[in-house]
C-alpha cells in the first residue's frame, strides 16, 4: 500500500520523504568519500553510487551547501529529472554541474511551495559552530562550480531548516545542529529529522528543538561516520554522543518517541 507519509534515512543528514507516489529528497549524500579521498582531494560525485540508491526523485532540496549535504544534488537532478530547491550557492554548484536552469528553484526562506502532495516551507537557520567555535568552510559559492573540486570549495552558503507537510503529517528537517526560533514561529512538526553532531556547540540545542516544534517522533541524523560506505553498518562519529542526546530527549517534558534508523532504513509515519 502506498504510504501517506514514509521516511527513509540515507546517511548523514540525507532523507527521502514519500507521500503517495511522490519522492522528495533532502540533503542526499551518497558518494561518501573516504577520509583519504577527502584529504587528498579533489573529489567529484560518484554517480554510480547515486544511481544505485536513487530510483525515483521528483524533488531534491539542500539545507546548506557543504559537500556532505549538497554534493549529490546535481546527480539526482540529472539522473532522475528532480526539481532542485536550494540557496543561490547550491544552485551555482548545480549550474556548474550542468543541471538545466529550468530545474533550479532558488529559496530564500519563508516561501510556501507546493511540491506534489507536499507543502514545503524553507526556514532560515544557522550552521553549528562545530569546529573549534567556527562554522567550517564559511562563505558563498558565487559562481558556477564544476567538479572536481576540493571538499572545502563547497562553502556553507545560506542555511535552512525545512518544514514539509502532507496529508500524512508534518516533518521538520534540521541538517546542522542549530536553529533560529524567530524564523520558526508558529511551526509545529509531528516528526523532527534532527542533526545530532555538533549539538554541544549550540546552547540547550535539544530542549530548544523540542520546545519549538513539539514533535511526537524524533529521528536522529548526522550521527554516522559519513566517510564510510553506505552498504556497511553505520558507526557513530566519536564526538557525537548519541546516548547523551537520547537522555536529553527522554528528560524533556514531551519525551517524544525516538526512532534510530539503520542506514537506508525506512519508517512509516502514516
Interface positions with Zn ion (CB under 5 A): 66, 176
Shortest distance (Å) from residue 138 CB to Zn ion: 10
Tell me whether residue 19 or residue 240 sits nearer to Zn ion (CB atom). 240
- What residue number has its CB nearest to Zn ion? 66
Secondary structure letter of residue 262 according to DSSP:
P
Phi, psi values for residue 130, rounded to 5°: -75, -25
Shortest distance (Å) from residue 264 CB to Zn ion: 21
Rounded CA separation 161/182 (Å): 12
Asked whether 149 and 42 are in contact (CB, 8 A), the reply is: yes
Tell me whether residue 176 or residue 240 sits nearer to Zn ion (CB atom). 176
Shortest distance (Å) from residue 126 CB to Zn ion: 11
CA 102 from centre of chain:
23
Tell me whether residue 23 or residue 66 sits nearer to Zn ion (CB atom). 66
Tell me whether residue 103 or residue 176 sits nearer to Zn ion (CB atom). 176
User: 143: how many CB neighbours lie within 10 A of its CB?
Assistant: 9
- Per-residue cell: 39: 584529504
- Per-residue cell: 5: 507519509
Shortest distance (Å) from residue 69 CB to Zn ion: 6
Asked whether 253 and 211 are in contact (CB, 8 A), the reply is: no
Tell me whether residue 75 or residue 195 sits nearer to Zn ion (CB atom). 195
Shortest distance (Å) from residue 156 CB to Zn ion: 6
User: 183: how many CB neighbours lie within 10 A of its CB?
Assistant: 17
Give the closest residue to 74 by CA, choosing from 28, 137, 127.
28
Shortest distance (Å) from residue 65 CB to Zn ion: 8
Amino acid at each position: 500500500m502506498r504510504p501517506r507519509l514514509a521516511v527513509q534515512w540515507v546517511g548523514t543528514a540525507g532523507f527521502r520523504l514519500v507521500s503517495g507516489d511522490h519522492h522528495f529528497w533532502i540533503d542526499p549524500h551518497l558518494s561518501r568519500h573516504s577520509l583519504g579521498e577527502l584529504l587528498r582531494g579533489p573529489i567529484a560525485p560518484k554517480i554510480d553510487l547515486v544511481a544505485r540508491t536513487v530510483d525515483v526523485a521528483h524533488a531534491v532540496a539542500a539545507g546548506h551547501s557543504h559537500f556532505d549535504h549538497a554534493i549529490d544534488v546535481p546527480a539526482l537532478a540529472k539522473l532522475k529529472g528532480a526539481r532542485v530547491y536550494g540557496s543561490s550557492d547550491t544552485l551555482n554548484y548545480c549550474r556548474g554541474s550542468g543541471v538545466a536552469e529550468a530545474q533550479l528553484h532558488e529559496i530564500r526562506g519563508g516561501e510556501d511551495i507546493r511540491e506534489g502532495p507536499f507543502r514545503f516551507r524553507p526556514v532560515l537557520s544557522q550552521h553549528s559552530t562545530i569546529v573549534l567555535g567556527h562554522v567550517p568552510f564559511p562563505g558563498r559559492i558565487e559562481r558556477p562550480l564544476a567538479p572536481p573540486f576540493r571538499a572545502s570549495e563547497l562553502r556553507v552558503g545560506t542555511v535552512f531548516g525545512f518544514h514539509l507537510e502532507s496529508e500524512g503529517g508534518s516533518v521538520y528537517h534540521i541538517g546542522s545542529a542549530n536553529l533560529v526560533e524567530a524564523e520558526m514561529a508558529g511551526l509545529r512538526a509531528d516528526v523532527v529529522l534532527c542533526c545530532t553532531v555538533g549539538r554541544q556547540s549550540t546552547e540547550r540545542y535539544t530542549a530548544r528543538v523540542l520546545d519549538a516544534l513539539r514533535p511526537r517522533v524524533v529521528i536522529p541524523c548526522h550521527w554516522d561516520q559519513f566517510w564510510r560506505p553506505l552498504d556497511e553498518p553505520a558507526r557513530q562519529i566519536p564526538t557525537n554522543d548519541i546516548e547523551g542526546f537520547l537522555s536529553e530527549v527522554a528528560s524533556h517534558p514531551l519525551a517524544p518517541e525516538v526512532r534510530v534508523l539503520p542506514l537506508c532504513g525506512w519508517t512509516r509515519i502514516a
